[in-house]
Amino acid sequence: MTRHGVTSGQGHPRSGREPRSQRSRRDPSLGLLRTVAGVTLVLALSDSVALCAPIGAHLLPAQGYPAKFNGIMPQLQNGWWNLTCPACKVIFSVINYGLKKEPNVARLGSVVIKLCKVLNIAPPNVCQSAVRLFEDDMVEVWRHSVLNPSEACGLLLGSTCGHWDIFSSWNISLPAVPKPTPKPPNPPAPGAPVSRVLFLTDLHWDHDYMEGTNPNCVDPLCCRRGSGQPPSSQPGAGYWGEYSKCDLPLRTIESLLSGLGPAGPFEMVYWTGDIPAHDVWQQSRKDQLRALTTVTDLIKKFLGPIPVYPAVGNHESTPVNSFPPPFIKGNYSSSWLYEAMADAWEPWLPEEALHTLRTGGFYALSPRPGLRLISLNMNFCSRENFWLLINSTDPAGQLQWLVGELQAAEDRGDKVHIIGHIPPGHCLKSWSWNYYRIVARYENILAGQFFGHTHVDEFEVFYDEETLSRPVAVAFLAPSATTYINLNPGYRVYHVDGNYSGSTHVVLDHETYILNLTQANAPGAAPRWQRLYGARETYQLPDALPASWHNLVYRMRDDERLFQTFWFLYHKGHPPSEACGSPCRLATLCAQLSARANSPALCRHLVPNERVPAALPSWSRPPFC
Ligand SMILES: [Zn+2]
Ligand SMILES: [Zn+2]
């Protein structure tokens, strides 16, 4: 793996990992496997509890989750959340003892399945399928990596139970070219052309969606074949989707695409991934590829010749979040997925883009004169991508590649749009801090950043690194197409300074469209996609530049009604019935300021009381992805 220009920090000795060949010589001892079972269990099921909110950017106490949310996440109450530290260590000792007697992967899996059932982490069928699905990849990862029980329990239960430090720090090197003086873009001249860019994310097509089934089943995903019938007093899943832990039937995605007319015309489409459903405990590679080709074909059918630029989501692979960096070869590699993507997306992407897509799931291209579009594979920043336990230092050399692309764009006088799935504030710390530094360095040419993954409608403001006070960029996090969890289906349209000589290519405004499910599922109704709101009009913004979003956060801090508007739109017009009280409000606002992980200082001005930032890590927002 190339590490050109990347330097490791002074962190954990594991960061300078030796080549695979050296490692494997001393490797697959029983000791290496001692924690496999427990961590397999945790990571296999972590997606169903959706560990996807930004670290350190959360202010909502765990017990502050709405009751409805608790009701649909039974595993949170009954699972390993309840483990005490001594119990965790006892369990790992037992597993260790068992593994010393039996290093066989299948038997190891059986132990984990039993534990999963005994601890009531998930329904028995989910325990069985999830562990069988994850065990091979996880053991392969652990064969390259070492984890001791203290670290495992530290990961599971927090720093009071052990020290988790497997992701050490590292630094990207920036070119010696001095940073140009920061210069905000000039507003476009009156009457200058404006382009509309359709933004689709998190479609999450459920092949097994079935009207009338139980929306509140025990599995992590419901409204589907196998969910059973609802109790006679409760309605079953709606025809177009459901407000519950459910994904979308294909007909709703088809309806979305066929109803785009009034929102267009579009110059291009950004599509930031998560195509398959959340039935992560039972997905095969064949299932994932069927989702990829079915939805890609549908988009081609309805959008015709409009160019579509995709990014890779964390649900595209199976096991979910499993994205080995390119140094992993053979059957464990991601080539089964990237090759299929390159085939499916070949009409939209030039050859050089297809080349990097095949290797690492990322690419760059020039969709119009003066604009470079960079599609990042954010799975290489993800704390849920367990392959990064082997080596998390700039996986696939992607950030160093990004710097090269940005410098070349600066040299040419081009502007840049970045698209990706997982937003930068949700990334592993080192990746996130390096990305933040890169954004600050290239603030003059970064005209737009577009992400998804959280399923809700929000944004992340970037600041200059010296003072953390001057807004230098904003990343838009668009809401999902899927209803998961308790949301209306929706999509986003960005208004971008148009395709003409001298364009700034910046985002001028955005609009969000939804399908009101209550109305659509009513007897005799037809689905009606409607404009939910326009950003500048609703929030009274002078423009859509970073400073306006920064100001909006502080205006919402002081204006309860304005915040409640944001809260309603954040959930695509279907907010939880429980009100968002002070801690929830603070958590939500803090997240909009946290484009960098583990940076409580970014929220220091939200409340005058200096105690609050110190308390941030113990607060969190309920995640949806
Ligand atoms: Zn998603
Ligand atoms: Zn996602």
pTM: 0.84
| Residues 592-614 pLDDT 10s | 999 999 999 999 999 876 555 55
The answer to whether 321 and 386 have CB atoms below 8 angstroms apart is: yes
Q: What's the 3-state SS for 38-95?
A: HHHHHHHHHHHHCCCCCCCCCCCCHHHCCHHHHHHCHHHHHCHHHCCHHHHHHHHHHH
Which tokens in the block code for residue 115?
């534990």
Give pLDDT, residue 34. Answer: 34
Residue 550 known to bind ligand: no
Q: CA quadruple 333, 337, 338, 343: dihedral positive or negative?
A: positive
Residue 445 is given by DSSP the state T
The answer to whether 122 and 220 have CB atoms below 8 angstroms apart is: yes
Kindly indicate the confidence band of residue 3, based on its pLDDT and cuts at 50, 70 and 90: very low
User: Which ligand is the nearest neighbour of the Cα of 203?
Assistant: 1
The answer to whether 247 and 483 have CB atoms below 8 angstroms apart is: yes
Give pLDDT, residue 298. Answer: 98
| Residues 86-119 pLDDT 10s | 888 777 777 666 655 555 777 778 888 888 888 8
User: Which ligand is the nearest neighbour of the Cα of 278?
Assistant: 1
Distance from residue 202's CA to the centre of ligand 1 (Å)? 4
Distance from residue 315's CA to the centre of ligand 2 (Å)? 6
Distance from residue 200's CA to the centre of ligand 2 (Å)? 13
Distance from residue 45's CA to the centre of ligand 1 (Å)? 16
Percent pLDDT > 70 in the chain is 81
Q: Is the pLDDT of residue 624 over 60?
A: yes
Distance from residue 203's CA to the centre of ligand 2 (Å)? 10
Residue 314 known to bind ligand: yes
Q: Is the pLDDT of residue 373 over 80?
A: yes
Distance from residue 204's CA to the centre of ligand 1 (Å)? 7
User: Which ligand is the nearest neighbour of the Cα of 479?
Assistant: 1
User: Which ligand is the nearest neighbour of the Cα of 480?
Assistant: 1
| Residues 153-203 pLDDT 10s | 777 787 788 776 667 799 999 999 999 999 999 999 999 999 999 999 999
Give pLDDT, residue 618. Answer: 45
Helices (H), 361-511: 398-412, 429-441
Task: State mean pLDDT over 291-315.
Answer: 98
User: Which ligand is the nearest neighbour of the Cα of 247?
Assistant: 1
User: Which ligand is the nearest neighbour of the Cα of 314?
Assistant: 2
Kindly indicate the confidence band of residue 121, based on its pLDDT and cuts at 50, 70 and 90: confident
Gap between the Cα atoms of 50 and 71, Å rounded? 15
The answer to whether 282 and 133 have CB atoms below 8 angstroms apart is: yes
Distance from residue 295's CA to the centre of ligand 2 (Å)? 16
Residue 120 burial class via C-beta count within 10 angstroms: exposed 0-12, middle 13-18, buried 19 and up = middle
Q: Is the pLDDT of residue 59 over 70?
A: no
Distance from residue 438's CA to the centre of ligand 1 (Å)? 26
Distance from residue 466's CA to the centre of ligand 1 (Å)? 34
Q: How many CB atoms lie within 10 A of CB 38?
A: 26
Residue 99 is given by DSSP the state H
User: Which ligand is the nearest neighbour of the Cα of 451?
Assistant: 2
Give pLDDT, residue 117. Answer: 87
Distance from residue 574's CA to the centre of ligand 1 (Å)? 17
E strands, 86-219, are 170-172, 194-200
User: Which ligand is the nearest neighbour of the Cα of 422?
Assistant: 2
In this predicted structure, which of 66-75, 365-374, 490-499 has the lowest mean pLDDT? 66-75
CA 344 to chain centre: 22
Give pLDDT, residue 79. Answer: 47
User: Which ligand is the nearest neighbour of the Cα of 275?
Assistant: 1
Burial 447-465 (b: 16+ CB within 10 A, else e): bbbbbbbbbbbbbbbbbee
Residue 422 is given by DSSP the state S
Gap between the Cα atoms of 449 and 145, Å rounded? 34
Distance from residue 453's CA to the centre of ligand 2 (Å)? 4
User: Which ligand is the nearest neighbour of the Cα of 202?
Assistant: 1
Distance from residue 607's CA to the centre of ligand 2 (Å)? 31
The answer to whether 440 and 468 have CB atoms below 8 angstroms apart is: no
Kindly indicate the confidence band of residue 64, based on its pLDDT and cuts at 50, 70 and 90: very low
Residue 204 known to bind ligand: yes
Residue 274 known to bind ligand: yes
Distance from residue 456's CA to the centre of ligand 1 (Å)? 10
Distance from residue 124's CA to the centre of ligand 1 (Å)? 25
Residue 453 known to bind ligand: yes
Gap between the Cα atoms of 42 and 283, Å rounded? 18
Average pLDDT score over the chain: 85
Question: Which strand (E) or helix (H) includes residue 132?
Answer: helix 124-144
Give pLDDT, residue 611. Answer: 55
Distance from residue 97's CA to the centre of ligand 2 (Å)? 37
Distance from residue 276's CA to the centre of ligand 2 (Å)? 10
Place of tokens 């803090």: 590
The region that residue 273 occupies, defined by phi over 0 for left and psi between -120 and 50 for alpha, beta otherwise, is left
Distance from residue 126's CA to the centre of ligand 2 (Å)? 20
Give pLDDT, residue 107. Answer: 77
Amino acid (1-letter code) at residue 625: C
The answer to whether 455 and 176 have CB atoms below 8 angstroms apart is: no
Place of tokens 């990014």: 311
Distance from residue 422's CA to the centre of ligand 2 (Å)? 6
